[in-house]
Each structure stands twice: as C-alpha cells, then as structure tokens.
Structure 1
C-alpha cells in the first residue's frame, strides 16, 4: 500500500533527478568547449540541486549515506546553501551584473560569502537551527535579489535576462512556499515539496535555454565584429586571412597604373581542388593553404608588382611590363609554387592552379575590362587545356 501510494512521488523524483543529470551533462559539454566559469557554475548548480533535493526527500540518508548519518545531516544542511551559492555565481555571470549593476553584484558577493560561512556554523555553531533558518531566508532573499538583477539587465535590452527572469521568478514562488510553510506561517500540504522541486527543475531548464540564447548573442556579436574587422582591414588595403592586398587595394593600384599610361599586365589565378581540401580537412586547412599560396606568390613578384586576394581561392596580380615569353615563364613559376604541398596538422595538402594573363594594350580599356579578359583566359586554361594551366587573353601574342 505504501509503495502504491507513493508511486507518483517516486516517479516524479526519478524524473527530476534524471533531468538534472542531463542538464549537468549539457553544462559539462559547454564548459569543456568554452571553458567559461559561467558553465562551470551551471554544472555545480545542477549537482548541488541534486544534493539538496535528495537530502530533503530523504534519499541521501536512504541510498547515498545509509551507514553515515553525519554525512546525510551535512548534506541536508549544506545542500541548499551550496546550491544557492552556485546559482548566485551563475546568475551574476549570465546577467553581467558587474557591468549592468555593480552595486547589486557586490551585494550578491556578500550573500555568497555569508552562505559559505553559514555551512560550517550550522553544524559546529551554538545555534544550528537558527542558522539553518537564516540560510533558508538567505536563499529566498538572494533569489529575490537576482529577480531585481534580471529586471535591470532586461532594461538594458540584454535578452538572456528575460529567460533568466522567468526561471528565477518561478523558483522564488516555489521555494517561498515551502520556506514559509516550514516556519509555520501557512499550513503544510503534501504537494508543496513537489511544487518547490518542480520550480527548481524548471529554473535550471530555463537557465539552460538562457545559456543557449547567450551563445547565440555572443555568436552574433563575434560575427558582427569579424565583419567590422574585415571592413577595417579592407579599408587599410590588406586581406585579413592571407596578408596580401585586398580587392580595394588592387583596384586602387590598377587604376593608378591606368592613369600613368604605362604598359602592364594583369593575371588571374584560381586554385584547382581547393574545395576538396576544405570538404575533406575542414576550413582551417583551407585557410592554411590560402595563406601559404599567397605568401609564395608575393615572394616571387618583383618590385612594384602586387598580388591580391579577390575572394575565396581567387587571386589577381598586377605585373610589370615584360615580353610575352617572360610573362609566361613568370606565370609558370607562380603555378609551380601553388602546386607545392602545404604542411598542415601533419598532412601534405596539395592543390593545383590555373592562370590567365591579359596585357594592357588598349588605351580606352578599363580595369574591369582587363580583369574580365584575364578571367576568361584563366577559365579557358582551366576548361580546355588539360596539362597546360596557363592562357593569354590574346592567344595571337602568346609564345605557345
């Protein structure tokens, strides 16, 4: 009869513990990946939540410490205080209280120290029962403080605080009911413990969702910063990944050559098999190939010549005036440099390359038109010349 009458409670407890363990694993994964204290305190909040609930439900004495009642007694007194400490430290980091509300952050730190001091005093002090009740009151008070902190962060349009607010508000209602009942202010009801237990679980679930929201916010901020950095680097004329000239710097130098009226050539160079490297070994490997190829191209150019990365695996080169056979010899040397293996993470990564060259010999030609001629020659070499990855825009002048 007892087992039948407590079946629902036992199932609820098992579900609660299972979900808390799952949330703890979720937090451990985030902590392992990002290494932030925020995720560490989330894991500790889940673990100490299990400790607090199991001691209050009697499971710590019955299963964890059946022959060690002193340990079960310690868990009963220390569990709620340690859970509150971890929850406070998690909350102040998630809400960025040091940034949004420094005075409130200081208050949270003071409450944390008081709770930590109360743990040993509850067992060895002169008034353990009074200390335990003060811990209960501190848990409720600290939860109310975090509600205020969430409201302050929400006013600053920090959206993870919205989720945190709902989670901590649910908990405040749940633990407030059980604390005032334990003090005899309201009549005790059998389901009050389930309400508080469910509120603790719901809070940690919502906190987990809030962490996901924070990750999205951080990711968006990092992407925006990367875009802004790219814009600044482009404005300075340098490609952020490879260190060679940017498209803007190439256009500026090319227009200057056109204004000078001196003869010069433009080469377009594209890597063959680069997508396969990216797909097989990852983008970090692809970035290493691009950086190495760009450095090799730059090292083989002469004074006043320029290599730029236009995007992806495509490069453009401004070359000095040379005879056609000298241009062909230079281009073949550049292609050989591109084909040399790139060492990355213990692997030799190999790509091919194709190039097209256009010589500026038309007075009214724009830089865009010159680039288009070189680009068409490059794709002619790529598609129609197996084994000969170089073509000139005007084959009538090529010494091939």
Structure 2
C-alpha cells in the first residue's frame, strides 16, 4: 500500500470517528425517571440538543412546539471544538415518582462563559422557578457545590413530568456530559472527589517543593524547567477542573478562560526545555534538541494570542503544539535510551503515562471507552507522570554522581601519573616539588639527599637501555624500602634521585641511614644472566641549618654531592662539611 493510500485511509478512519461521535437522532426527547441511587443518572443519549449558530434564540423560541422536531438526541457526548462561540441548547424531560425531591443537573464543565437554566416547567408549561441567567465570569450566588463547575439545583414538590432547558456558550473546547443527581448523593460523591483532589494536589505541591530543593542544591536549569513545567501543568488541570476559578480566582473568574489558553503552551514550553536538558539532547540527539528549541517561539506566540486575542488561533496553535511536541519528546527519549542514557527509560515511562491518560480522556469523550472520569484521569496521569519523573531525576542524579566519581578518580589518577615517574614508581620532578614543599611546611627538622649513580653509563652503553631501566627501577625500590611514612623519594631524571626525610634523627643516625642506602645501591642487579653493578654518591643538606626553602636545600645537597664525586665517589657528604670555611679549618 502506498503512503498516499495509507494517509487517505487514516483520514477516512478519523472522519468516521468524528462522525460517529456526533451522530444524533431527530426524535422525541426521552423521559428520564429521577432516581436517588448513588452515582447519579447519565443523560448521554437521553437529552435533546439544538445548536443556535447565531446565538439569537430566546427561551420563547426554544419552547415553541414547532421547534421540537429540531431537537436531536445525540448518542454520545456532545462535543465542541472551541472554534466557535455558538449557543447550545439542551432539553431535559424528567419524571419524578415521589414528592419533595431535591435534584441537581451537572454539566461536568467548569469554563463555560455563559450558562443559563430555564424551568423546570410542569406539564402545563408553568415555570416552577425563575430562570437562572448565569455568566461564570461572575462569582456564583449558588451554594458552594456550584463553585467549581456549571450545575443547577432544583426542587420538585409533586410527582409528575417536568422539562428543563439549558443554554451553554463557550469559545473553548467542551464535552457536555450531563447527568442528574439526587442532591444528597451528589454531595456525598463530591466529598470523595474532594479527598481525591486533595491527595493529588498535595502530591503535586510536594513535587514542586522537591524541585525547588533540587534547584537550590544543584543550581542546574534542568530543575527550574521541571518546576515551571509542573507549575503550569497544575494550573492547567486546576483551571480545567474548576478549582482555579473556585478557590484562587473566585473574584476574577473572567480570567479563567485566558488562563486555560495561556497555561498549556507554557507547560509545553518548559516540558520541552526539561526534556532537552534531562536527556542531554545536545549530546545524544542534536537535531531533536534544535527541534524542541524551535517550538519555543510558537509557544510564546500562543501565550500572546491567549492574552491579546484572537483566542481561536491561540487554541489552534496550542492544540498543534500539544500534538507535535510529545512526538519529538518520544523520539528524543528513544534515541537517548538507545545511545546508553539509562534515565531516558524512566522518562519514556513517565511520558507514556501522561500520554495514555490524555488518550483515555479523548477516547472517553468519543465514547470509545466508557470510563467514569473526565479530566480527573488527566489529573491522575499528571500525578503519576511527575512521580515517575522524580524517580527519573533520582536515577539521573545517581548516574551523574557515579560519572563524577569516576571522573574524579580518573582526574586523581591523571594527577598522580603527572607527578609519578613511570619507570620507578617514585615521584618525578613535578611531584617532588609539590609534595616536598608541603612536607617541609610541616617539619621541624628535615634533610634533603641528592643521589647520583656512579658507573651507570657503562651499563647503559654495554648492556642496553633495558638493562639500564632495570637498574633504575631496582635502585628506586631499594631507596623506598628504607624510608618512613613522612619521607619522599623521587627520580629527578636520568640517573639522578632525591630523598626528603621528613623527620631526621641526629647526625650520626642520619649518616648511618645514608651509608645503608649506599650499601643497598651497590648490591648487584641480576639481568639476563648478568650481575649489573653501580654505586652512588650522596650529598646531604639539613633543614633548617642549610636552608628553609626546597630549592635552596637542593642546591646545597647538589654541592655536597659533587664534592663527593670530585673526591672519589661511592660516599656521602654533608653540605656543612664542604663549605670553604669548614675545609680550611680541616
């Protein structure tokens, strides 16, 4: 099948779904018997529907019997795309078997611009209550239960048949899922829903605080992006569920539709920035990283359109972004996971939870599924998504700490290697300088020994460099074997060694230690069936009598060592014994 044929098939399938969701039967509106059972009574498929495109019909026009045949009975939830502001009339026929019933009709909508109720009318056409002409931008005068969405309470004193007319106007997407409740049962159901909402919002606020703590500790933009994404996600859900208008904007409900339009693109923008940072996309998927950045101006434009108008284009742009951005996010997470970034697996799981929750809401609205929740499912999906993302961030923190630890170990190893002679394992000249100065700062008495091998060049020339390397490595081991914990040995280069004794004994004991070194160095070195022999000459400078600086002490020890070289080699000399004054006195 060609790509063109596949696309045509998808378009036809989607058109069928849309058509099926809007199927309406032009017939008499059925009579609904009022029932006080828990859960209420759904009016889907049992309510009359008439769309007033011009918005000019009055209640007198609607009640005209000649219009009865224009009321259709939709078989599923009546949907509104949000691209129009048509008035939508609903006709409900009710039957009460008993007396003194207190009832409530719930629209499940919280962002209607206008919501009016006419009736109930008895069989004689007499209105039993004055009309409610409501504008939800104005704080409702109804009881608290009317505070978060459009609903209407009414009382029926006598048994009989009654009719209500409901008029709704909105320029935002709506799903009119009407239901009728016994007022007491509705109150009890609302208590359970309030507990559910309280738990959800408590968890979401806890996640916000957690992100602020991470931001304060690590000071990475990543956590700021996630905080703002969570914040605008909560604002979006609270606005859709009616809680924003009920609690935070009770005196400014005219702003609720604006918030409903402006918050989602901000949620999308910061979620995209979080995705880009969390998945390290500039490293793992540079093209997708640039794609997410390309959405930022569009999100900003959507916010401006929401604030300044026209709201229709803000809605269209936001819906397009909400479709395109998750696709890029899924692709980015898949690429990052494929390339070895393990926290991307948690991110994929979190994104999938929210995606399937949103898909469940959409399928529920299309009546493909019959789920008992509306935007509550999206709210639950958001809670689970943010919770999983917290786990994902914990996984990322663990990975980063592990990598930082490994990098720290490598850096320490590189630093040690940079200060270590690879042949002997002793410090090199750089390590000698750094550690030697530090050792002198903590010593009260110390000594610097400068050691130069005697007869080393013939070994190198006659037996080769491998033999010379064997001698140098063996000498290094033998020198290290006689040193203590506060002593330092180094190979300065060629056949020149140095020793810093951090805590020196008296002169006689020091002389004995030096003679032991000379004896050890002079021992034969077995190599390839041969016994290689070298000697050494050692110059000694003592701290602080010969100097307080390492370079000064090395110069003094060097003079003493060359004095030994000049007078026969294979011995040692103290710098204090080689000064002109000392030699003259001798």
TM-score range, shorter chain: 0.5 to 0.7
SS in 1 for 2:488: strand
Deviation string 1:354-373 (CA, Å, 9 cap, x unpaired) is xx99953556599xxxxxxx
CA distance in 2, matches of 1:321, 1:99: 48
Structure 2 residue 333 is matched with structure 1 residue 150? yes
- Residues 101-123 of structure 1, C-alpha deviation per residue, up to 9 Å, x if partnerless? 22222221122221221012024
Q: Name which of 399, 403, 406 aligns with 1:224.
A: 406
- Secondary structure of the 1:158 match is coil
What's the secondary structure of 2:487's corresponding residue? strand
Question: Residue 304 of structure 1 aligns with which residue?
Answer: 450
CA RMSD of aligned residues (A): 4.0
Partner of 1:10: 194
Q: State whether structure 2 residue 287 is matched by structure 1 residue 141.
A: no
Change (3 A) 1:314 1:171: farther
SS in 2 for 1:67: coil
Question: Which structure 1 segments of 5+ residues have no match?
Answer: 239-244, 254-289, 331-355, 367-400
Rg larger in 1 or in 2?
2
Q: SS where residue 66 of structure 1 aligns?
A: coil
Does the CA contact (< 8 Å) of 1:77 and 1:122 recur in 2?
yes
Distance 1:329 1:358, change over 3 A: closer
- Aligned pair in 2 of structure 1 residues 295, 197: CA closer, same or farther (>3 Å)? farther
Q: Hey, what's the Cα distance between the residues in 2 that align with 1:80 and 1:321? A: 69
8 Å CA contact 2:284, 2:336 repeated in 1: yes
Aligned equivalents of 1:11, 1:247: Cα separation in 2: 72
CA drift of 1:209 comes to: 1.0
Number of equivalences: 294
Contact map agreement 1:140 1:172 (CA 8 A) in 2: no
User: Are 2:487 and 1:316 aligned?
Assistant: yes
TM-superposition CA deviations, 1:55-89 (whole Å, max 9, x none): 11111111101111233333222222211111111
The one of 71, 93, 111 equivalent to 2:255 is 71
1:303 deviation in Å? 6.7
Q: 1:236 to 1:72 in 2, by over 3 A?
A: same
CA contact (8 A) 1:140 1:175 kept: no
Cα gap change, 1:237/1:94 in structure 2, threshold over 3 Å: closer, same or farther?
same
Q: Equivalent of 1:325, from 489, 506, 512? A: 506
Measured in 2, the distance between the counterparts of 1:358 and 1:212 equals 60
Say yes or no: does 1:110 pair with 2:294.
yes
**Unpaired runs of at least 5, structure 2:** 1-183, 430-434, 452-475, 490-497, 526-586
CA contact (8 A) 1:95 1:153 kept: yes
Residue 186 of structure 1: CA displacement? 5.8
- Report 1:57-136 matches (<5 A): 57-126=241-310, 128-136=311-319
1:1-400 equivalences under 5 Å are 1=184, 2-126=186-310, 128-178=311-361, 190-237=372-419, 249-250=425-426, 294=439, 296-297=441-442, 302=448, 304=450, 314-318=485-489, 325-326=506-507, 360=517, 361=519, 364=523
Whose strand proportion is higher, 1 or 2?
Answer: 2
* Partners of 1:167 and 1:206 within 8 A in 2: yes
- 2:214 and 2:267 map into 1 onto residues whose CA distance is 20
